[in-house]
Amino acid sequence: MRRRLAAVLVLATGPALACDADFGRAIAAEGVTLAWRARPEPPPLAEPFAIEFAICGGRPDRITVDAVMPAHNHGMNYAPRLQETAAGRYRAEGLVLHMPGQWRMVFDLMLGGRALRLSSDFEVE
C-alpha cells in the first residue's frame, strides 16, 4: 500500500485575508475562497515547482496540501514544504508531478474544528 505524502501546516489564529485576484485559479465552497497559482506556470512535468495561494473567508487552524492523479488513484512521490509568507498567503515548495495527465491540487483546511476540502483540476503535459 502506498503512503500518501502531503504538506501540513498548523497555524496560530489571526485575521482573515481579503481575496486577491492575481492568482489565476480560484476554488470556493462554504464561504471560503482559495486562490492559487503555480511557480512556474504552467506546472512542469517531472521537475520541482511551487504553488502560492491565498485563503479568504476564514483563517484556517491547519492546512494540508497535496496533488493527486484521479485517473491513477495516486499522488506525488514527494511531500512539499509549506510556509505562511504573509497573513493569509502561503507557499508550498517541492511539488513534483512525475507523470503527464490530469492532476488535482487538494487543499484540506481545518477552520475552527470544521474540515473543508477544496480541489482544483489541471492538466500536465
* pLDDT attached to residue 8: 53
Average pLDDT over residues 84-104: 94
What distance separates the 2 farthest-apart alpha carbons in the chain? Answer: 41
Q: How far apart are CA 77 and CA 57, in angstroms?
A: 31
Residue 1, pLDDT score = 40
The amino acid at 109? L
pLDDT in tens, 26-43: 999 999 999 999 999 999
Within 10 angstroms of residue 12's Cβ, the number of other Cβ atoms is 7
Alpha-carbon distance of 92 to 119, in angstroms, equals 15
Burial code (b: 16+ CB inside 10 Å, e: under 16) for 22-32 equals ebebbbeeeeb
Mean pLDDT score, 60-83: 92
Class for the domain spanning 7-124: mainly beta
Q: What is the overall mean pLDDT for the chain?
A: 86
Query: What's the pTM value of the predicted model, to 2 decimals?
Result: 0.83
Confidence band of 87 (pLDDT split at 50, 70, 90): confident
* pLDDT (0 to 100) of residue 106: 96
pLDDT of residue 23: 82
Cell numbers linked to 107: 487543499
Q: What is the pLDDT of residue 17?
A: 45
